[in-house]
Amino acid sequence: MNKNKLKYIIKALFDAPISNKDFLVNREKELNHLNKIAYFQPMGIFGLCGETGVGKTTTLNFIDSEDAKRFHILITEKDSKEIIIGDFLYKLSILALKLKNKKINNIAKESKEFILNEMNYNTTYGGGLSFAANISYEKSVNNRKRFNIYSVKEYIDKLLSLLVEEYGKILIIIDELDKEKKEEVLNILDSLKNVLFKENIITFVSLPFSIYREYSNDRMRWNESGNLENIFKDMIFLDSLTIEDIKKMILKRIKEYPDYFDIEALNEIAVFSDGNPRDALWMAQQIALINSDIDRISKDIAKKSIGMIISQNIEKSFSFTKIQKIILKEIARNSLDKSTLVKKLEGKVKRQTVYTYIKRLMNDGIIIENKDILYLPAKIRYYIENF
Ligand SMILES: Nc1ncnc2c1ncn2[C@@H]1O[C@H](COP(=O)(O)OP(=O)(O)OP(=O)(O)O)[C@@H](O)[C@H]1O
Ligand SMILES: [Mg+2]
């Protein structure tokens, strides 16, 4: 294939959160809800949940903030509650310094210097020795210095009040919390909730699924001692996209070469991805790269390539025995519970063996159990069904 064409296709399929609405598929319902929150809610922390790669960052990018000022904050220093709050102030100050407002700039500058000084104080790395503020910042944070938490909170309060005064409404977006363990996330939010709970400040955070489940249980009073509803006022769950959406997403991206993938080839990619846009983009890119000599991807080529790519990836980590494959095939055919599975395999596999293998495969994430029913993740199912 022509080098420039391949270059275009690989770039178009590159996995990164989008901010151009032309490339967005679906999510009207979720965005509608998020926009209503941003517009109508007076204050509060709100969660966005979903499996990795499903589009949390992308969706957060499209929250309509016409009448609000948006701040993306990445919390990186998490050693203790004080450090988290200090980190929040530092990051907010950096963003506030870029605004064109003298009053805000002044407080931001003061806050930033305060954090840098407080954290340099008493550390073995003298502040004057480092030539870049960032270096001394990270070094000193690593020293786990306790600093005056009351002053930090006062600075945050001052800065946020000025921001609200200037812009009316503030959206704070704390993405990437979904990469943390549940306890860490709660720790971070617990430290921040008091400073963020302020009129006209709406905070959106991305969260791991475990928190969503617990939150729902709290709301429904199915948990003994609910506490998440104290932190979150509402939570939105992002489901996988549909197979049709995934195809649309890829076609929108490669619009200069809409025929590059046969429609059936696109379908294979979408089915493999099981509605996860990141998995779809990754696979589509891989197929284009390993077939760089081919001008157009047919269903057969797609299928063969997907098989090769998954096999390579799966077989690097696992090799299934004959019996394991029998078990996995049965689950792939039909999601079912353990005892039904044992019955189905009667005469083929011993009862105890089935139980032992299920346990082991569940530990490896090859089998998922939800409400007593066994499932295979899409990629494993695709592999087992086709190869
Ligand atoms: N609705 C959508 N329309 C078009 N492309 C999308 C959509 N949702 C996600 N994508 C694409 O899928 C990929 C993954 O999306 P994104 O990075 O937003 O997911 P995420 O849930 O934030 O992932 P992570 O768990 O890694 O933070 C990106 O390349 C993004 O452009
Ligand atoms: Mg993300």
Average pLDDT over residues 134-157: 70
Asked if residue 140 has pLDDT above 90, the reply is no
Asked if residue 118 has pLDDT above 50, the reply is yes
Query: Do 266 and 163 fall within a single domain?
Result: no
Smallest CA-to-CA distance from 300 within 330, 262, 273, 270 is with 262
Asked if residue 365 has pLDDT above 90, the reply is no
Tell me which ligand sits closest to the C-alpha of residue 55.
1
Query: Do 158 and 51 fall within a single domain?
Result: yes
Asked if residue 143 has pLDDT above 80, the reply is no
Residue 56: how many other CB atoms lie within 10 Å:
24
Query: Do 303 and 353 fall within a single domain?
Result: no
Structural domain for 368, as ranges: 320-386
Tokens 């002044």 belong to 106
Asked if residue 65 has pLDDT above 80, the reply is no
Domain at 148, CATH number: 3.40.50.300
Pocket flag, ligand 1, residue 220 (CB < 6 Å)? no
Pocket flag, ligand 1, residue 53 (CB < 6 Å)? yes
**Which residue of 58, 174, 178, 276 sits with most ligand 1 atoms within 8 Å of its CB, as the best mutation to test the pocket?**
58
Which of 221, 237, 253 is at the close of a domain?
237
Smallest CA-to-CA distance from 157 within 204, 88, 203, 100 is with 88
Distance from the CA of 269 to the center of ligand 2, in angstroms?
Answer: 22
**Mean pLDDT of all residues in the chain?**
87
Which of 296, 316, 336 is at the close of a domain?
316
Query: Do 203 and 222 fall within a single domain?
Result: yes
Low-confidence winner among 10-24, 117-131, 176-190, 286-300 (lowest mean pLDDT): 117-131
Which alpha helices (DSSP H) does 41-148 contain, by range?
A: 56-61, 81-97, 102-120, 133-142
Q: Give the tens place of pLDDT for each residue, 185-196.
A: 888 888 888 889
Which of 316, 351, 371 is at the close of a domain?
316
Domain at 379, CATH number: 1.10.10.10
Query: Do 274 and 147 fall within a single domain?
Result: no
pLDDT of residue 214: 77
Tell me which ligand sits closest to the C-alpha of residue 179.
1
Q: Partners of 28 in the beta sheet?
A: none
Q: How confident is the model at residue 125 (pLDDT cuts 50, 70, 90)?
A: very low
Atom of ligand 1 lying closest to residue 175 CA: 27
Average pLDDT over residues 304-320: 86
Pocket flag, ligand 1, residue 24 (CB < 6 Å)? yes
Looking at residue 55, what DSSP letter applies?
A: S
Query: Do 126 and 198 fall within a single domain?
Result: yes
Query: Do 28 and 151 fall within a single domain?
Result: yes
Query: Do 253 and 232 fall within a single domain?
Result: no
Average pLDDT over residues 29-54: 93
Query: Do 77 and 165 fall within a single domain?
Result: yes
Opening angle at CA 377, ends 373 and 381, nearest 5: 100
pLDDT of residue 124: 40
**Which residue of 31, 57, 210, 254 sits with most ligand 1 atoms within 8 Å of its CB, as the best mutation to test the pocket?**
57
**Number of domains making up the chain:** 3
Q: Give the tens place of pLDDT for each residue, 258-268.
A: 999 999 999 99
Average pLDDT over residues 172-198: 83
**Long-range contacts from 331-340, C-beta under 8 angstroms, 24+ separation:** 331/367, 331/374, 331/375, 331/376, 332/376, 332/380, 332/381, 332/384, 332/385, 335/373, 335/374, 335/375, 336/373, 336/374, 337/372, 337/373, 337/374, 338/372, 338/374
Domain at 285, CATH number: 1.10.8
Tell me which ligand sits closest to the C-alpha of residue 61.
1
Distance from the CA of 64 to the center of ligand 1, in angstroms?
Answer: 17
pLDDT of residue 135: 53
Query: Do 255 and 196 fall within a single domain?
Result: no
Query: Do 73 and 156 fall within a single domain?
Result: yes
Cα separation, 156 vs 150, in Å, equals 10
Query: Do 185 and 92 fall within a single domain?
Result: yes
Asked if residue 248 has pLDDT above 70, the reply is yes
Pocket flag, ligand 1, residue 246 (CB < 6 Å)? no
